[in-house]
Amino acid sequence: MQYKDYYAILGVERGASEAEIKKAYRKLAGKFHPDKPSGDETKFKEVSEAYEVLSDKQKRAMYDQLGAGYQNGQHFEPPPGFESMFGGGFGDGQGGFSDFFESLFRGQGGFGGGGFGRGFGGQRYTQRGDDQVVKVLVSLEEAVNGNERMLNLSIPQADALGRVQTKSKQIKVKIPAGIKQGQRIRLSGQGGAGSGGAANGDLFLEIDLQAHPLYQVEGDNVVLALPLTPWEAALGTKVQVPTLKGAVNLSIPPGSQSGNKLRLKGRGLGKTPGDQYVLIQIHTPPPSDDAQQVFYQRMSEQFADFNPRTHF
């Protein structure tokens, strides 16, 4: 008979933990289960047999006594004292397991006679559907004020025969006010289809804030560049500036300089909103005729003592 390297079959190290063995089994069983499009009954039987041994402390300890000197598929001859060591004997193969399994563990309990088309103990194989993550572009206005959206999504669903097919589905989603970049909205049961009557997975909508033509995002704060004329900055003024919650009137103090920031509290992002900063940018109009050119010349004479580069 052939030796079965159960660790190699599951793709784990001999010292693998119970959690690692279970994770490897779930992945491979889900892949090779006969109900799946990628199903392979032979491989599913191998994987199930390996898990039956390695998930049981007693069986695993008995199996490990054979040592690591054998290769998977190698001709296996029982060592001296084999039958007395394992308390078994060569089985008749009627349990649906390999001869190797039967020779080691006959009388130690198996799959309950249910066959490999079912789970252990005669129960049907079930597996919860996969969770899915979809990125959703959200405007800054939606992030601040909230919104309801209709999304067209492709959702895996199982038909009456258990085959998984992709179907388009419209889902109405409420985007809560105050949501931020990277946060997720959970839609229970809207993810991948489950197998054998198990529950569907969940669908997570991951928020991706859309670039805005006016605002730059800095954490929970937003920054708006505000263009001012030289005389508005020098003399001071009031201007209407946009915010994500509507326009406001903002007082510009006299003597404002490019790079100065004015703060609008609570006009940013998040459930506890950050702030909006207004970044002053002075724009100098180019002279378009001789009179304007003369005006700039007179201004340079009036401010001859002013040198913004004295710190150089």
Q: DSSP letters along 97-148, please?
A: S-HHHHHHHTTS--STT--TTB-GGGPBP-BPPPPEEEEEEE-HHHHHH-EE
CA dist 129 and 126 (Å) reads 10
| pLDDT score for 298 | 95
CA dist 1 and 103 (Å) reads 10
Q: Could you tell me which CATH class the domain 215-302 is placed in?
A: mainly beta
Phi, psi of 135 (to 5 degrees): -80, 140
272 DSSP 8-state letter: T
pLDDT in tens, 249-288: 999 999 999 999 999 999 999 999 999 999 999 999 999 9
CA dist 215 and 231 (Å) reads 25
Averaged confidence pLDDT in the chain = 82
| Locus of tokens 């199930």 | 48
Three-class SS of residue 292?
helix
Percent of the chain with pLDDT over 90: 47
Label residue 99 exposed, middle or buried (CB < 10 Å: 0-12, 13-18, 19+): middle
pLDDT over threshold 60, residue 291: yes
CATH superfamily of the 6-122 domain: DnaJ domain (1.10.287.110)
State the DSSP H helix or E strand holding residue 216, giving kind and residue range, or none if neither: strand 215-218
What separation in angstroms does the CA of 250 have from each of 202, 211, 226, 239, 254? 46, 25, 11, 5, 13
Residue burial 216-245, b: 16+ Cβ < 10 Å; e: rest:
ebeebbbbbebebeeebbeeebeeebebbe
Q: Which CATH number fits domain 132-209: 2.60.120.10, 3.40.50.720, 2.60.260.20, 3.40.50.300?
A: 2.60.260.20
Q: Of 4, 173, 208, 232, which is closest to residue 101 (Cα–Cα)?
A: 4
pLDDT in tens, 33-67: 877 777 788 888 888 889 988 988 888 888 887 77
| CATH 2.60.260.20 in the chain, residue ranges | 132-209, 215-302
Phi, psi of 33 (to 5 degrees): -55, 135
Three-class SS of residue 71?
coil
Close Cβ partners of 3 (under 8 Å, ≥ 6 residues apart): 70, 71, 72, 73, 74, 75, 76, 100
Ranges 124-133, 134-143, 172-181: which has the least confidence:
124-133
| CATH 1.10.287.110 in the chain, residue ranges | 6-122
Listing DSSP states for 142-206 in one string gives HHHH-EEEEEEEEEEEE-TTS-EEEEEEEEEEEE-TT--TT-EEEETT-SSPPBTTPPP--EEEE
Q: How is residue 42 written in tokens? A: 């032979």
